[in-house]
Amino acid sequence: MSKGSKNVFISHIHEDDAGLADLKNLLKSKGMDVRDGSINSEKPNNAKSPDYIKSQILAPRIDWASTLIVYITPETRNSEWVNWEIERAREKGKTIVGVWEQGSNGCEVPEALDEYGDAIVGWNADRIIDAINGEYERFEDPKGQPLPPRAIRRHPCA
């Protein structure tokens, strides 16, 4: 049964480009074709100005996508770009899904993902697809086990 196509933006660091193909192939094996708007070695960005990159390259691609997928590896935690992409997706009301790198043993996730993510899932195609579709909203470790409850941030009423 086909799961259809989805426009996604996969937030990652460039050193993890190889894992993006694995992720897309995993989803394709279950019938979901993802059209990825992210910048990677196949679609490089040669601009130099961070403001230009954010406003003219990344923002339109995130806005086009229905879902922002964060490819979680130890290095994504401290990526200024990954956190900015997550915050942009939140501002635009996008579904935000963290996906652990295949074979991951776990690591700290980007702060913005912890705060704004809709789900974090292990390397399981069905769960990833359900999270992309907004039908699975849980936080798991890389093996698919529930993460401990998270504190809910409270915001004062205006």
Q: How many domains does the chain have?
A: 1
Kindly indicate the confidence band of residue 155, based on its pLDDT and cuts at 50, 70 and 90. Answer: low
CB-based contacts of 33, cutoff 8 Å, min separation 6: 4, 5, 6, 27
**pLDDT tens digits for range 71-111:** 999 999 999 999 999 999 999 999 999 999 999 998 999 99
Domain-embedded: residue 156: no
Crossing angle of the two packed helices 17-28 and 125-132, in degrees rounded to 10: 90
Domain-embedded: residue 125: yes
Domain-embedded: residue 25: yes
3-state secondary structure of 62: helix
CA distance 153 to 137: 17
| Beta-bridge mates of residue 97 | 69, 119
- Which two three-digit tokens encode residue 144? 């698919």
Domain-embedded: residue 144: no
Give me the CATH number covering residue 34.
Answer: 3.40.50.450
Residue predicted with more confidence, 49 or 40: 49
Range of the domain at 33: 4-132
Look at 6-15, 42-51, 88-97 and tell me which has the smallest mean pLDDT.
Answer: 42-51
Domain-embedded: residue 154: no
Does the structure show a pLDDT above 70 at 157? no
Enter the pTM of the model. Answer: 0.90
Q: CB–CB of 137/67 below 8 Å?
A: no
Quote the pLDDT of residue 44.
76
Domain-embedded: residue 139: no
Domain-embedded: residue 143: no
